[in-house]
Chain A
Amino acid sequence: MTEGSIKVAKDITIFTTNTCAYCVMVKKWLGAKGHSYNEVNLDEHPERQKDAFEMSGQLAVPVTVITKEDDSREIVVGYNLAKLAPAVS
């Protein structure tokens, strides 16, 4: 990939729940890497569960939605550094 074609993350949204330890880890890791993010807490907004499921295809959190500069999206389910690291870079 050439430098000019690198897709930079312009928005990161994480779907979480109050008791999810993996959600805490995703937020901690993004924070340590200097990324800001929006959080949708599904305990506080259960009506957004449908959105999380439609985007991820899974009934699980955390779901991290990375929107790139060109509006393409990458979706990472769980605390998966092997997928998260390249997705947000």
Chain B
Amino acid sequence: MAEEKVLDAGAHKVWDVVMIGAGPAALSAAVYTTREDITTLLFEKGVIGGLAAITDWVDNYPGFPEGVAGLELADKLRLQAERFGAVIELGEVLSIKSEGKYKVLDTTSGEIKAKAILIATGSDYKKIGVPGEQEYYARGVHYCATCDGAFYRDKRLVVVGGGNSAVQEAIFLTRFASHIDLLVRGDTFRASEVLVKELGRHKDKISVHLNHTTDAIVGNDTGMVTHVDSTHTTTGKKVKFDTDGVFIFVGLDPNTKFLQDSKVELDSIGLIKTNKELQTTMKGVYAAGDVRSGATMQIASATGEGATAALMIREHLDHMKQQLD
């Protein structure tokens, strides 16, 4: 069992590299490091595969001409990393610090030592911060269509957002919902052309409302959502959208809160700053994927960054070894 290995190893040895997160970036990096006999431990507090795993369908990842379910892609990445010996621990890293030549991670499984760290914690969907959003969370307000969409068979839904996730998940939700109002704050979509074209094929179920803000999510006495209050941004007209539920996909929030007291420098929105070797401001600590400042937030680029980070970590470990010899 993976956990037994981890606890034993955590008590008795120093890992070559500990990867925080087990999404596409870390799993790809782990394929590279483990093939080089670099002992590799991944810590995942959420879903193995990250946001890719909760995405209904992935059409733009190379090697899958017909596309692939996000959950299946995540599982294949995991299997490939585990095939070469990567160990995945289901737990959370609470903080990191340097101690001599090693890094020390305070985790929910105890203290772990490593020669290098890769931070690939990705991002979570952002909250919009309107009245009702928190109050009706999981009782009408959702951030995971593949998880909770099934509760809305033959119901009306509102989807908020104009990017790839919002459009793709709105299309996914047509499997269940009788009708979807898609509220987009801007005057155009940020989603790719191909997705917007696909959206056009679902006009019978999805009504697009550009230039509409989401002002409040409103419910009734039984605690269920009944409608969304919105405003047309150019006319100022108030609009009410009757709905049974709201799915929100308005951008990403980086998972970097555990770094607040570390030497890893973040940018103004909380993404990790790195140099061209993907090393952070803390020596021996690298970052890859959606959590890195400048990342393009694509699964394909995350796996590429993971591979790059792995090669840089190998160099770092070689350098450490030379210093000790």
Q: Give the interface of A toward B (CB within 8 A).
A: 17, 19-25, 28-29, 32-33, 42-43, 46, 49, 53, 57-62, 77-79, 81
Asked if A17 and B147 make an inter-chain contact with CB atoms under 8 angstroms apart, the answer reads yes
Q: Could you give, for residues 98-113 of chain B, a 1 whenever the CB lies within 8 Å of some chain A CB and a 0 otherwise?
A: 0000000000100000
- Size of the B side of the interface (Cβ < 8 Å), in residues, is 33
Choose from B45, B90, B138 the contact partner of A28 (Cβ within 8 Å).
B90
A61 and B245 in contact, given A29-B90, A32-B90, A46-B153 (Cβ under 8 angstroms): no
B320 within 8 A of A: no
B271 at the interface (CB under 8 A from A): no
Q: Which residues of A contact B69 (CB under 8 A)?
A: 19
Which residue of A21, A28, A33 has the most chain B CB atoms within 10 A of its CB atom? A21
A28-B90, A32-B3 given; A61·B47 CB < 8 A: no
- In whole angstroms, how far apart are the Cα atoms of A67 and B204 in the complex? 45
* A19-B47 in contact (CB<8A): no
Q: Which residues of B contact A (CB under 8 A)?
A: 1-3, 45-49, 53-54, 56, 69-71, 74, 90-92, 108, 138-140, 142, 144, 146-153, 245
Residues from chain B with Cβ under 8 Å of A20 in the complex: 144, 146-147
Q: How far is the CA of A28 from the CA of B46 in the complex (A)?
A: 12
Tell me which of A29, A42, A77, A81 contacts B150 (CB under 8 A): A42
| Min C-beta distance of A41 to chain B, whole Å | 10
* Cα of A57 to Cα of B136 in the assembled complex, Å: 11
Contact residues in B for A77 (Cβ distance below 8 Å): 138
| A23, B53: Cα distance in complex, Å | 11
With both chains docked as a complex, state the minimum distance between the C-beta of A24 and any C-beta of chain B, in angstroms: 7
A10 to chain B, nearest CB (A): 23
Find chain B residues with CB under 8 A from A22 CB: 46-47, 54, 144, 147
- How far, in Å, is B30 (CB) from chain A's closest CB? 17
**Bound: A21/B138 CA distance, A:** 16
A57 and B69 alpha carbons, distance in the complex (Å): 29
Known A-B contacts A19-B69, A32-B90, A46-B153; the reply to A59 vs B140 at CB < 8 A is yes
16 A/B residue pairs, CB under 8 Å, sorted by A: A17-B146, A21-B71, A21-B74, A22-B54, A22-B147, A33-B3, A49-B150, A49-B151, A58-B139, A59-B140, A59-B142, A59-B245, A60-B148, A60-B151, A61-B147, A61-B150
> Chain A: which residue is nearest B244 at the CB level?
A59
- Residues of chain A within 8 A (CB-CB) of B56 are 19
Distance in Å: Cβ of A53 to nearest Cβ of chain B: 8
Q: Give the docked Cα–Cα distance between A78 and B138 (Å).
A: 10
8 Å CB contact of A60 from B54, B74, B147: B147
For B91, what are the chain A residues with a Cβ–Cβ distance below 8 Å? 81
| Complexed CA–CA distance, A77 and B90 (Å) | 17
CB-nearest residue of chain A relative to B225? A59
Contact A46 to B150, CB < 8 A, known contacts A22-B47, A25-B47, A32-B3: yes
A25 touches B147 (CB 8 A): no
Which A residues are in CB contact (< 8 Å) with B54? Answer: 21-22
A21 adjacent to B47 (CB under 8 Å): yes
When distances are taken between beta carbons in the complex, the residues of chain B under 8 Å from A81 are 45, 90-92, 108
